[in-house]
Amino acid sequence: MNKSQFIDGIIYLKTLTFKRFWNGVLLLFSYYFSKITKKNYQKGFPISIAFEPTTTCNLKCPHCPSGLRQFSRPTGNATNSIFEKLLSEVSPYLTYLIFYFQGEPYINKHFLDWVKLASEKNIYTATSTNAHYLTEEIAEKTVLSGLSRLIISLDGANQETYQKYRIGGNIDKVWKGVENVVAFKKKHNSKTPFIMLQFIVFKHNEHEIEQIKSIGKKLGIDKVVIKTAQIYDYENETDFIPENSTYSRYKKDKNKVILKNKLENSCWKMWHSCVITWDGKVVPCCFDKDATHHLGDLKKYSFNEIWKNDTYKAFRNSLLQSRKEIDICKNCTEGTKVWA
């Protein structure tokens, strides 16, 4: 652990009030009690939430609904009213808020204003971006917003490799965006955001892992993360699956490709976190990219009502009985160690 990682950990720990700490204890107890009894038991509220600023993206990545423009659900940009309602209801117990689900967060002009509001309530904030919008002006605003963590996707060490997945992307813009954020962190003597360079491993870029680590150091990145790729049609489309199984969520089994995860009938995410779509729908997790499992609507109900409603209870119970029967769980790595 380097100095910046240590500071990042301290920043997160400072979000823990007694109320938030006790809420976390209740969640842990609820989860393990439910796991043992195989019946849903829920005390406490989520400590982590993902909020979707927009479904729009400037790139066309081939294994992303935003990139493919293939959502079956409505698309659009979140509004102030939806976010402010959510924040007012969850801030007493929430410790981690990531502004990302699908789409490029910086496309929503209100995004950094929401980060500032959450930061003022002592919530650890994060986002994931392709870094094409990090001009000097936006980079400085990012630093001043109080954003705790900035995850930047860079899946190639050069333009040729990068554009094979990040279709429409420009690697020079990514590098310049990183440089801008690093520069304004220094200018304002800011410890945040903690900058993570995320490298998703595919067959075409797995030979560049060591090179991307070196690039990260040169750019002043706080941490380089090597992440496995989620492939939607992994049984048939193997062109993107790495040869080295260390960097893959999948493995070969005779003449087919299968998920490494054995899909245990439990999932910590269902007890401590959830996702809010741009239009206020509450869905179980980030694997439900089309929001097919609609658990509640913030435009009609409070978050607390949704979190403990009968629909949510039924979903958790179905997971405890047979997780493999739930469509969004079939390509999930929760419970499986991912190399990083």
> 233-247, pLDDT tens digit by residue?
777 777 888 888 788
Q: What is the pLDDT of residues 57-102, one digit of tens each?
A: 999 998 888 877 888 898 999 999 999 999 999 999 999 999 999 9
How far is 299 from 302, CA to CA, in rounded Å?
Answer: 8
Average pLDDT, the chain: 92
Stretch 49-59: mean pLDDT, rounded? 97
Tokens coding 144: 């001043």
Cα separation, 231 vs 249, in Å, equals 9
Give the β-pairing of 250-253 and 256-259: antiparallel
Residue linked to tokens 């997790």: 285
**Which of helix, strand or coil describes residue 133?**
coil
112-138 pLDDT tens trace: 999 999 999 999 999 999 999 999 999
Using one digit for the tens of pLDDT, what is the confidence trace for 285-328?
999 999 999 999 999 999 999 999 999 999 999 999 998 899 98
Residues with Cβ within 8 Å of residue 163, at least 6 apart in sequence? 156, 169, 171
- Angle 270-103-157 from CA coordinates, rounded to 5°: 105
Outline where DSSP puts E strands in the chain.
48-51, 96-99, 124-129, 149-153, 194-201, 223-228, 250-253, 256-259, 273-276, 281-283, 296-297
- For residue 77, what is the DSSP state? B
Q: Which residue has the tokens 């950094």?
A: 112
Residue 339 has pLDDT above 50, yes or no: no
Class (C level, CATH) for 1-49+73-118+264-339: alpha beta
Give the Cα separation of 39 and 42 in Å (integer): 10
Phi, psi of 119, deg, nearest 5: -60, -35
Ramachandran assignment for 134, one of left (phi > 0), alpha (psi -120 to 50 degrees), beta (any other): beta
Token pair in block for residue 82 = 């939806």
Angle at 278 between CA 111 and CA 275, to 5 degrees: 100
What share of the chain in percent tops pLDDT 90? 78
Whether pLDDT at 28 is above 50: yes
Q: Are 250 and 261 in contact (CB under 8 A)?
A: no
Give the start-to-end residue ranges of the domains of the chain.
1-49+73-118+264-339, 130-260
Q: At residue 338, does pLDDT exceed 60?
A: no
User: Taking a C-beta distance cutoff of 8 angstroms, is the pair 125, 115 a contact?
Assistant: yes
Structure tokens at 118: 């959450």
Identify the CA nearest to 59 among candidates 113, 102, 100, 111: 102
- Confidence class for position 336, pLDDT limits 50, 70, 90: very low
Banded pLDDT at 248 (limits 50, 70, 90): confident
Identify the pLDDT of residue 225: 93
